[in-house]
Amino acid sequence: MNRVLAALACLGLALAARAADPFAHPASGAKLLETTLSRPAARLAHARTLAGDFRQRRQLRELPKPLIASGEFVFARDLGVYWHTAVPFDSVIVLNQAGMTQIDEGAPALRMSADEQPAVRLVANLFAALFTLDVTRLEQDFELYDATEGKRWTLGLKPRAPALAGVIRQVIVAGSDDVESVELMDAQGDRTLIELTAIRYSRDGPPADVRALLAPPPP
């Protein structure tokens, strides 16, 4: 479980302070898709690949200053997430239904099977739903809240099951036309902020090198 939490840190799920309470108004997935999320969800519905840049700010309880990293990501529908940290060090995390692989420069690849670590599959499903704004799927595991103001929307998510709450305390997703940030407080109280920029949609699959990493191994 500790390795899964460390992977979440590298992937950069986000947490940032907000003036409005993102958990003030309960919401349903169906209603959100009809109203708040109708425009961004429609854009995402036709995309096979979502790519962009990220900036991560992670605040650990035991450290006085946040850890900051940046890089690029690719989400490929039905394949998984490719997360490449370029600064301050080179690291790649690949997350799919088969499990998670972490490749750090100069070190052997670390692999975790989703069959052996159920939390890995949970995280993979969470990322897929967040990147596609699949709130109907999210609603199966999270209570949903809507704190939208004007053209900007903010969604709060709180785990339903104690097992999930043992990993994630709360998630906040925000944006306008795109998903611009995803926020997380983990069960240990650590906070991480990521901002997504230069987001690009494509009806095509990911580049060949990324596809080769995301494709599950042959049986």
The tens digit of pLDDT for each residue in 6-40 reads 554 555 443 333 446 889 899 999 999 999 999 88
- Cβ-contact 127, 11 below 8 angstroms: yes
Q: What tens digit of pLDDT does each residue of 53-62 get?
A: 999 999 888 8
Query: Can you say whether the dihedral through the CA atoms of 41, 203, 196, 186 is positive or negative?
Result: positive
Buried b (16+ CB within 10 A) or exposed e, 120-139: bbbbbbbbbbbbbbbbebbb
Listed in sequence order, the residues at least 6 apart from 184 whose beta carbon sits closer than 8 Å to its beta carbon are 8, 13, 14, 15, 168, 170, 171, 172, 191, 192
How confident is the model over 75-110, as pLDDT tens digits?
998 899 999 999 999 999 999 888 899 988 877 888
Query: In what side-by-side order are the strands of the sheet with 168-175?
Result: 26-27, 142-146, 153-159, 168-175, 179-186, 191-202, 49-59, 67-76, 80-87, 91-96, 99-104, 110-113
Helix (H, G, I), strand (E, B) or coil at 175: strand
Alpha-carbon torsion 196, 202, 203, 208, what sign?
A: negative
Flag whether pLDDT at 3 surpasses 60. no
Q: Label residue 121 by pLDDT band (50, 70, 90).
A: confident
Superfamily of domain 2-201: Lipoprotein localisation LolA/LolB/LppX (2.50.20.10)
- The Cα 156–Cα 145 span in angstroms is 5
Q: What is the pTM of this model?
A: 0.82
State how far the Cα of 99 lies from the Cα of 123, in Å rounded to an integer. 10
Look up residue 140 and give its amino acid: Q
Q: Which has more confidence, 135 or 11?
A: 135
Contact 68, 195 (CB under 8 A): no
| Per-residue model confidence (pLDDT) at position 6 | 52
> What pLDDT score does 1 carry?
52
pLDDT of residue 11: 52
Question: Mind listing the pLDDT tens digit for each residue in 170-199?
Answer: 999 999 888 999 988 888 888 888 899 999
* pLDDT the model gives residue 193: 85
Instruction: Give percent above pLDDT 90 in the chain.
Output: 41
Model confidence at 155: pLDDT above 50: yes
Write down the residue that tokens 């995402």 correspond to: 44
